[in-house]
Amino acid sequence: MPGMVLFGRRWAIASDDLVFPGLFELCLRVLWWVGILALYLRHRGKLDCAGGVLLSSYLLVLIVLLAVVICTLSAIVYVSMKGTICNPGPRKSMSKLLYIRLALFLPEMIWASLGAAWISDSFQCDKIVVSGVIATVIISWIIIFSTVVTIVIVFDPLGGKAARYPTPGPSLRDNPESSQFFSGLKTAATSVWETRVRLLCCCVGQDDRTRVAFSSTAELLSTYFSDTDLVPSDLAAGLTLLHQQQDSIKNNQEPEEVVSRSPGPSQEDDLDAELENCRHYMHFAAAAYGWPLYIYRNPFTGLCRIGGDCCRSRTTEYDLVGGDQLNCHFGSILQTTGLQYRDFIHISFHDKVYELPFLVALDHKNECVVVAVRGTMSLQDILTDLSAESETLDIECEVQDCLAHKGISQAARYLYRRLVNDGILSQAFSIAPEYRLVIVGHSLGAGAAALLAIMLRKAYPFVRCYAFSPPRGLLSKSLYEYSKNFTVSLVLGKDVIPRLSVTNMEDLKKRILRVIAHCNKPKYKILLHGCWYELFGGNPDDLPTELDGGDHQDLTQPLLGEQSLLTHRSPAYSFSSDSPLDSPTKYPPLYPPGRIIHLQEEGPSGRCSCYTAQYTAKWSHESEFSKILIGPKMLTDHMPDILMKALDRVVSDRAVCISCPAPGGPDVDVV
């Protein structure tokens, strides 16, 4: 529901968010009350010492005060359980209860201070009583401190302005005065987000490019979050409901409803060859991460294998490798790629905003010069990711409408300058002039590799790019079609990054609002059921996600409750359109690079680490990644080590079954 309004300002917490914290404090207070009562009843005869009267009075008043607090907490928990996310009416008394609860902190603070003072004069009393009172004083101050921290966390810097229009309607949105107000609110939100980003990235630096990245990130975040009146727990509940709804639709879908796009015989013929290439070049993409990923993949033996390189001083045998001080990185790169030190032309771990680490090596096995670009691994990389505006890519080709992700295109330009202007590629091809150029990368590095391949296409017509788990919001439609000639992308399972774009995030927001508005269950039940479902699975139909058990197709129609969750209409939000959201000019729809190989998990998704997944490899169309899928593996499927294991398994299984006809027709390859 919308955030609560207390003391004349909105807070980032809803009236139905107090069930679990209230129950936790209630259990703590009840145990505390029982302990103090037992202490007093059992030892009150031993309080005839000096200061014993004060201690006896302290315990009696504390027992009464705790009883009042327990009653208040019980009422808060009971009221917080009532209603639904979009129906806060049954919880209208919550603000009064919170005022009472906050007021009780004043006598608690006073009594805790008095207890600390009195206990210093009562050390001659029974040690058990004194120890009990000391524990009581400590617990009191811990709870008070925790409450202050919670207030700071749920404080909304824009709450004072947002409280002026708690439930805007269409007429209010069309009012010129309110439109001006909401414009000012968005400007203030951008300023707040920029301050947050600067604090989070205070160690990144303050050059011009970093400041531009701060502004771009703040504008993106404020644009996405400032037009809804949701609190974080609403988003968690919405994602839980979406996951169950998504699984329910999948389970109820008839087999003949599953449409497989035919990629054409030529694409099917080279699927095995491209999978083998992907497995080979994925090692270079992983090597670009350096020693952190290597140690993560080999936690027990990794440090022993590369430990010598970490401490070894650079000698003349390393002079071929340019770039920065490598330390442990070079040893991990050698171990991951299986190459020799003399095979490397350049290795750079220079890392700034819009400037990515990369390596250049000679792959004698496949007779190519490999450029591997590192993915996201630092705050600087995250700022590059979040600079999501579109900008024109200045390339010499016949393609019109050459738009690309701003942050990644800036990173690709940096790589281009280093490789071409600094003569790194010239040096590589002077050693092996007959080799061809291959550019690889994972995640952010995949996006930069795809754009770099486009930039180098004219100078190196036979360039190839292998993009592992690339971001969806990368290329305009025309550049996406152009990149199919020389780029292959690999996506694992429900990986969120190849489905992540501003357009898809707006679509996800719309779906969250819609499913929340249709749900007729209280939030605490949604979250409890969702935790159980994510951990242990179950029947997704057990928890209704629509009012009156309506059909899933009804979710395409807006609800009044859904509109009430918007503070104002986002320029990218449309109630009336079922097509992909019309984004602002700054954030047009963007697409992933090249032809896409999708490794789909067969059967139900496993939820435990001991589960060994089986995957189906097939060519997929970009439209299959036009929605963000919710699931426990949406993040883990993006990890490079998980992708490498799945890719090895698929290639090995296909090699065993290469002579077996694939069931299900020629359009789907099953392993």
The catalytic site residues sit at: 443, 495
Q: Looking at residue 11, what DSSP letter applies?
A: B
Tokens 């077996």 correspond to 660
Provide φ and ψ at 399, rounded to 5°: -80, 135
Cβ neighbours of residue 61 closer than 8 Å, sequence gap 6 or more = 111
Is 5 in contact with 166 (CB distance < 8 Å)? yes
Give the Å distances, CA to CA, from 185 to 163, 165, 227, 343. 11, 11, 10, 56
Burial class of residue 117 (count of CB atoms within 10 Å of its CB; 0-12, 13-18, 19+): exposed
Is 132 in contact with 122 (CB distance < 8 Å)? no
Cβ neighbours of residue 304 closer than 8 Å, sequence gap 6 or more = none
Classify 49 as helix, strand or coil.
coil
The C-alpha angle 107, 112, 118, rounded to 5 degrees, equals 120
Is 132 in contact with 35 (CB distance < 8 Å)? yes
CA dihedral 182, 183, 187, 192 (to 10 degrees): 10
Give the Å distances, CA to CA, from 479 to 125, 264, 399, 451, 476. 82, 21, 7, 9, 5
The pair of structure tokens assigned to 140 is 């009191």
**First-last CA distance in the chain:** 46
Nearest-angstrom CA–CA distance, 485 and 514: 39
- The 10 Å Cβ neighbour count of residue 241 is 28
Cβ neighbours of residue 322 closer than 8 Å, sequence gap 6 or more = 345, 346, 347, 348, 424
Q: Looking at residue 605, what DSSP letter applies?
A: P
For 221-233, letters b (16+ CB in 10 Å) and e give bbbbebbbbbbeb
Task: Pick the closest to residue 586 from 229, 222, 230 (CA basis).
Answer: 222
Parallel, antiparallel or unpaired: strands 344-348 and 595-601: unpaired
Question: CA Rg, the chain, in Å?
Answer: 30
The pair of structure tokens assigned to 630 is 């919710």
Beta strands per DSSP E along 429-505: 436-442, 464-468, 487-492
Is 524 in contact with 410 (CB distance < 8 Å)? no
Give the Å distances, CA to CA, from 306 to 217, 288, 318, 321, 330. 37, 15, 16, 17, 8
